[in-house]
Amino acid sequence: MIYTLTLNPSIDYVVQLEPFHIGELNRIQSETKFPGGKGINVSRVLKRLGIDTTALGFIGGFTGCYIEEYLQIEHNQTDFVKIKEDTRINIKLNTGKETEINAKGPEITTEEYEELKAKIRGLESGDFLILSGSIPASLPNTTYEELVQICSENDVQFIADAEGDLLKNVLPYKPFLVKPNHHELGALFNIEIQSPEEAIPYGKKLLEMGAQNVVVSMADMGAVFINKKNVLVATVPSGVLKSSVGAGDSLVAGFLAQFLKTGKYEEAFRYGVASGSATAFSIELCTKDQIEALLPQVVIKRKENGA
Ligand SMILES: Nc1ncnc2c1ncn2[C@@H]1O[C@H](COP(=O)(O)OP(=O)(O)O)[C@@H](O)[C@H]1O
Ligand SMILES: O=P(O)(O)OC[C@H]1O[C@](O)(COP(=O)(O)O)[C@@H](O)[C@@H]1O
């Protein structure tokens, strides 16, 4: 079974507001809301690609109920730990530019965290866990590390999509895949990355630190895939950006779906990039048809044979 873990889910409130005047009354042109949080987005896209998952994480309050019901209507399995406080709401402003305002998330009690750990201990050899996104502020920075330690004791493979120390600390446990965007990768090494070529040496550092496969996503600038045998650079399809919320999560889902189907990294990378772009070109997450329509436009160049 594939499990996704969203420690800090959200309702994403996506607002079209152009022009936007700070300090004045603004009237929204259109608004929409979705269940969000990185693992939840991965589950929803995998479901659209015919792969069942169980979504794990913390969920609470009226916002948590909304998310759980929405996922169930789409036939996504869930096994959340119910918490006392409300799940957060994240605001996504489209004002000509995209601005994201992500809340810090609810308080998690020690009992609630222990309940979650018990669920992770229940995963078995052959299962896959995707750990994605930020953690609520009340949990320690070592949380992902503690959870992947349990995975490695039980022979559970994992993917990590997180920032800073959360990502760095899981690398020694040999994640199957990590997917920083170029800003997150740059921040890890205190540099600014401006092109796929500049991303390659730093992506290789993540391999040296333990990752088995690395994808560096760079929004409309392309993406880089690195493992011991391949260094690949992809162009992204052209299209009209509607909302890039969930694009990175769609890349992870598309990559995993195609890798499970074919066992081929290049095909998985192509499918992942097309999935990310298909989401960027829609207000909601991508569908299988949208992804497959974009596949021919993803051009992949082999840069080196080995990293
Ligand atoms: N403006 C865009 N045009 C085309 N594709 C995009 C655009 N923004 C995102 N994507 C696609 O989504 C993927 C992930 O987006 P990115 O913004 O890099 O990740 P994240 O959402 O994690 O920050 C990219 O590799 C690309 O395939
Ligand atoms: O946990 P974080 O880092 O605050 O991110 C949560 C946000 O990221 C998203 O999962 C989207 O992520 P991506 O755009 O990186 O794919 C939103 O649904 C959610 O609001």
Closest CA to 46 of 11, 79, 65, 71: 71
Does residue 302 sit in the same domain as residue 219? Answer: yes
36 within ligand 2 shell (Cβ under 6 A): yes
Does residue 106 sit in the same domain as residue 196? Answer: no
219 within ligand 1 shell (Cβ under 6 A): yes
Q: How many residues does the chain have?
A: 307
Number of structural domains in the chain: 2
Number of Cβ within 10 Å of residue 307's Cβ equals 19
Beta-sheet strands, E only, within 61-118: 77-78, 81-83, 88-94, 98-101
Q: Where are the alpha helices (DSSP H) in 49-109?
A: 61-73
Does residue 132 sit in the same domain as residue 53? Answer: yes
- Please, what's the b/e burial string for 198-233 (b: 16 or more CB within 10 A of its CB; e: otherwise)? bbbebbbebbebebebbbbbbbeebbbbbbeebbbb
Does residue 144 sit in the same domain as residue 198? Answer: no
Tell me what pLDDT residue 307 has. 54
User: Whole-angstrom Cα distance, residue 147 to residue 182?
Assistant: 25
Does residue 80 sit in the same domain as residue 164? Answer: yes
Query: What is the CA(245)–ligand 2 centre distance, in A?
Result: 7
Query: What is the CA(37)–ligand 2 centre distance, in A?
Result: 5
- pLDDT 10s per residue in the chain (307 long)? 999 999 999 999 999 999 999 999 999 999 999 999 999 999 999 999 999 999 999 999 999 999 999 999 999 999 999 999 999 999 999 999 999 999 999 999 999 999 999 999 999 999 999 999 999 989 998 999 999 999 999 999 999 999 999 999 999 999 999 999 999 999 999 999 999 999 999 999 999 999 999 999 999 999 999 999 999 999 999 999 999 999 999 999 999 999 999 999 999 999 999 999 999 999 999 999 999 999 999 999 998 765 5
Looking at the DSSP bridge assignments, the partners of residue 159 are: 130, 177
Query: What is the CA(11)–ligand 2 centre distance, in A?
Result: 10
Angstrom distances, CA of residue 74 to CA of 35, 133, 278, 283? 11, 22, 19, 17
**Residue 57 Rama label (left phi>0; alpha psi -120 to 50; beta):** left
277 within ligand 1 shell (Cβ under 6 A): yes
Q: Which atom of ligand 2 is nearest to the CA of 249?
A: 16
Does residue 150 sit in the same domain as residue 188? Answer: no
Task: State residue 48 phi and psi, 5-degree precision.
Answer: -65, -20
249 as an active site residue: the answer is yes
Full domain range(s) for residue 83: 1-20+28-175
Domain edge (last residue) among 175, 200, 229: 175
Tell me what pLDDT residue 304 has. 72
User: Whole-angstrom Cα distance, residue 293 to residue 215?
Assistant: 22
Within 13 Å, how many C-alpha atoms sit on residue 73's CB side? 8
Give the DSSP per-residue string, 207-230: HHTT-S-EEEE-GGG-EEEE-SS-
Pick the catalytic residue: 52, 79, 127, 249? 249
Looking at the DSSP bridge assignments, the partners of residue 224 are: 216, 233
Which residues have a Cβ under 8 Å from the Cβ of 121 and sit 6 or more positions away? 150, 154
Domain edge (last residue) among 126, 150, 175: 175
Amino acid (1-letter code) at residue 96: G
Q: Which atom of ligand 2 is nearest to the CA of 163?
A: 3
Looking at the DSSP bridge assignments, the partners of residue 214 are: 178, 226
Residue 203: CATH number of its domain: 3.40.1190.20
Domain edge (last residue) among 175, 210, 233: 175
Does residue 162 sit in the same domain as residue 125? Answer: yes
**CA of 40, nearest ligand number:** 2
User: Whole-angstrom Cα distance, residue 136 to residue 179?
Assistant: 20
Does residue 6 sit in the same domain as residue 153? Answer: yes
User: Whole-angstrom Cα distance, residue 188 to residue 167?
Assistant: 9
280 within ligand 1 shell (Cβ under 6 A): yes
Query: What is the CA(24)–ligand 2 centre distance, in A?
Result: 28
Nearest-5° Cα angle at 33, 28 to 34: 155
Query: What is the CA(304)–ligand 1 centre distance, in A?
Result: 23
Strand pairing report for 98-101 and 128-132? unpaired
Does residue 59 sit in the same domain as residue 163? Answer: yes
Tell me what pLDDT residue 306 has. 56
Q: Is the ipTM of this complex over 0.85?
A: yes
Six token digits for residue 19: 């022009």
Six token digits for residue 304: 């080196």
Which of the listed residues 4, 13, 87, 102 should we mutate to test ligand 2's pocket, taking the one with most ligand atoms within 8 A of CB? Answer: 102
User: Whole-angstrom Cα distance, residue 5 to residue 70?
Assistant: 17
217 within ligand 1 shell (Cβ under 6 A): yes
Tell me what pLDDT residue 303 has. 86
Does residue 150 sit in the same domain as residue 279? Answer: no
Does residue 6 sit in the same domain as residue 140? Answer: yes
Question: Which three-class secondary structure state does DSSP give residue 122?
Answer: coil
Does residue 201 sit in the same domain as residue 141? Answer: no
12 within ligand 2 shell (Cβ under 6 A): yes
